[in-house]
Amino acid sequence: MKKRMGRERIAAVVLTLAGVALAAALVYDPRMPGPSQLVDAMFRPAVNVIEQLSAKRSG
């Protein structure tokens, strides 16, 4: 039980530190590449197809 509670405390501390680090990084560079850019790069072929679909209609 005691060991388990430690696990929760460690998780909370690690997540808070991650949050603080991310906050500091965002203050330093608000335009830092984020998850959206990662997802965009991961699904590039599909994104190209979708962009074409909307471009044809509005063109």
Given the rule CB under 8 A, which residues bind other proteins?
4, 7-9, 11-12, 15-16, 18-20, 22-23, 26, 30-32, 34-36, 39-40, 42-43, 46-47, 50-51, 53-54, 57-58
Question: Residue 39 has which token pair?
Answer: 């997802």
Q: What's the closest the beta carbon of residue 48 comes to other proteins, in angstroms?
A: 9
Q: What's the closest the beta carbon of residue 23 comes to other proteins, in angstroms?
A: 6
Gap between the Cα atoms of 3 and 8, Å rounded: 9
Q: What's the closest the beta carbon of residue 10 comes to other proteins, in angstroms?
A: 9
Name residues whose C-beta falls within 8 Å of residue 25's C-beta, 6 or more positions apart in sequence.
32
Backbone phi, psi, residue 30, to 5°: -65, -20
